[in-house]
């Protein structure tokens, strides 16, 4: 996946809170960067993915030849039957796509068009509602730019990369004005849902939440712009897209095939996704146990974490693989939707201070070093973090602050491999006090899982250095 956006005014952003040091880190290596071990419990995330199907078009990421990116059409009547996975959608479903075009030569200035076609195989008209939708190019819409690790993002103008920007829009329930609220497809007919260029050397990320009144087939396709007299480019027509769908094979070049999971080791190649995954949202209430109503905060100076987007060979000892299973896929693409791009995490934390002392509590998203079975338990980090960006996207927080005022905050995070992260929010809880917090985000493309959500009770020294978020 990739990154790119118009440079944003820095004046809109509040300063990031000071980082909260992890409790009693132990330096286990004196190399640069230092590796530190944080002894704490890592818990599996309660809940599970829902069953909503997710059209996920991300292979090949780099597209140089025209063809089919992902087709769920029936194979009958197609010249290349193996390119069609025969999966109709009905009711709620999601669509995510990310693809890159790169000119072969300096003289090749053709735009590659990205199309999504929807077909009604039935005998009655079908309505497709476009609930939310966003699509951005890396350049000029959303260039990958350097951003601080923690920025307030109240109106959605903080982003880096088209995936970061698209997920930010969907999190806020937006539909770009270029999309109608619905389309009506006549029996036996098709319509283009997307017909957008990827000009020059560029990337496009697209995210949509959809609802169909009846069964429809969907395909994502790649075709170079058609030339008009005088050399001007034009988008492909519906008839041209239909011809490509019916006669062509898969677009290329193909990405490297993934390692079969039954023979995989920690060095496995996960592969890129091209198929229909099962799951659009992970909704969970985090409590002490399945029967408990509260989440007791840890003892002073201690912390515990919940895995986010855990995957094969990256479960932090929980054994929990959150990667969405694939309902249909091409044989040379990922066996699971590793990374869960575009899946919303909707987490509720009913925090409670069960002690007889006032406590200060911080919530943090972190990017530890990926492990499956930590030898000593806990989490490992780098100090300073390594340069590779592993998470880039916006998180929404909803809670009542220490003054009892209702707050909704959007925070854009950039985290690198091994980064402990800055607190999203801190609270002061009286003895016996409860505080409900909701944490929501769509797992952003151009990120590398897994991450964790950490609840930390600060010791007296740390609590004085981490201010609570100001009322808004």
* Residue whose token pair is 């109608």: 180
- Burial of 257 per CB tally in 10 Å (0-12, 13-18, 19+): middle
- Conformational region of residue 464, where left means phi above 0, alpha means psi within -120 to 50, and beta covers everything else: alpha
Return all residues near 15 (Cβ < 8 A) that are at least 6 apart: none
Mind listing the pLDDT tens digit for each residue in 203-237? 999 999 999 999 999 999 999 999 888 888 999 99
Mind listing the pLDDT tens digit for each residue in 328-386? 999 999 999 999 999 999 999 999 999 999 999 999 999 999 999 998 889 999 999 99
Strand partners, 115: 195, 221
**How is residue 390 annotated by DSSP?**
E
Q: What's the pTM? A: 0.90
Mind listing the pLDDT tens digit for each residue in 398-446? 999 999 999 999 999 999 999 999 999 999 999 999 999 999 999 999 8
Mind listing the pLDDT tens digit for each residue in 135-158? 999 999 999 999 999 999 999 999
SS3 171: helix
């Amino acid at each position: 996946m990739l990154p790119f956006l118009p440079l944003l005014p820095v004046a809109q952003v509040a300063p990031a809170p000071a980082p909260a040091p992890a409790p009693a880190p132990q330096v286990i290596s004196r190399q640069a960067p230092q590796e530190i071990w944080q002894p704490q419990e890592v818990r599996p995330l309660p809940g599970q993915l829902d069953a909503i199907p997710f059209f996920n078009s991300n292979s090949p990421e780099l597209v140089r030849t025209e063809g089919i990116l992902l087709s769920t059409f029936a194979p009958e009547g197609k010249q290349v039957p193996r390119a069609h996975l025969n999966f109709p959608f009905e009711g709620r479903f999601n669509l995510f796509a990310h693809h890159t075009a790169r000119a072969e030569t300096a003289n090749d200035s053709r735009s590659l068009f990205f199309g999504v076609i929807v077909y009604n195989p039935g005998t009655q008209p079908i309505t497709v509602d476009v609930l939310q939708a966003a699509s951005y190019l890396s350049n000029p819409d959303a260039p990958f730019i350097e951003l601080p690790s923690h920025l307030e993002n109240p109106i959605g103008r903080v982003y880096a990369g088209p995936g970061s920007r698209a997920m930010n829009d969907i999190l806020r329930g937006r539909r770009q004005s270029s999309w109608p609220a619905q389309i009506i497809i006549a029996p036996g007919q098709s319509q283009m849902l997307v017909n957008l260029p990827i000009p020059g050397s560029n990337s496009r990320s697209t995210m949509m939440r959809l609802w169909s009144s009846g069964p429809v087939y969907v395909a994502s396709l790649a075709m170079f712009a058609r030339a008009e007299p005088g050399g001007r480019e034009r988008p492909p027509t519906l008839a041209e897209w239909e011809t490509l769908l019916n006669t062509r094979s898969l677009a290329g070049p193909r990405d490297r095939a993934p390692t079969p999971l039954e023979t995989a080791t920690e060095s496995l190649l996960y592969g890129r996704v091209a198929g229909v995954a099962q799951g659009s949202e992970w909704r969970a209430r985090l409590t002490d146990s399945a029967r408990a109503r509260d989440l007791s905060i840890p003892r002073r100076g201690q912390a515990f974490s919940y895995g986010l987007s855990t995957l094969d060979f990256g479960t932090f000892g929980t054994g929990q693989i959150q990667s969405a299973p694939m309902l249909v896929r091409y044989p040379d693409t990922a066996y699971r939707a590793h990374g869960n791009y575009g899946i919303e995490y909707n987490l509720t934390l009913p925090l409670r201070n069960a002690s007889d002392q006032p406590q200060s509590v911080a919530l943090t998203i972190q990017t530890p070093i990926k492990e499956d079975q930590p030898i000593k338990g806990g989490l490992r980090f780098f100090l300073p973090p390594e340069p590779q960006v592993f998470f880039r996207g916006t998180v929404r927080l909803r809670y009542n602050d220490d003054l009892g005022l209702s707050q909704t905050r959007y925070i854009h995070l950039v985290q690198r491999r091994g980064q402990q992260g800055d607190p999203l929010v801190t609270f002061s809880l009286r003895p016996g006090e409860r505080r409900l917090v909701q944490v929501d985000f769509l797992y952003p493309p151009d990120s590398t899982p897994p991450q964790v959500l950490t609840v930390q009770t600060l010791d007296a020294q740390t609590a004085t250095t981490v201010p609570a978020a100001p009322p808004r």
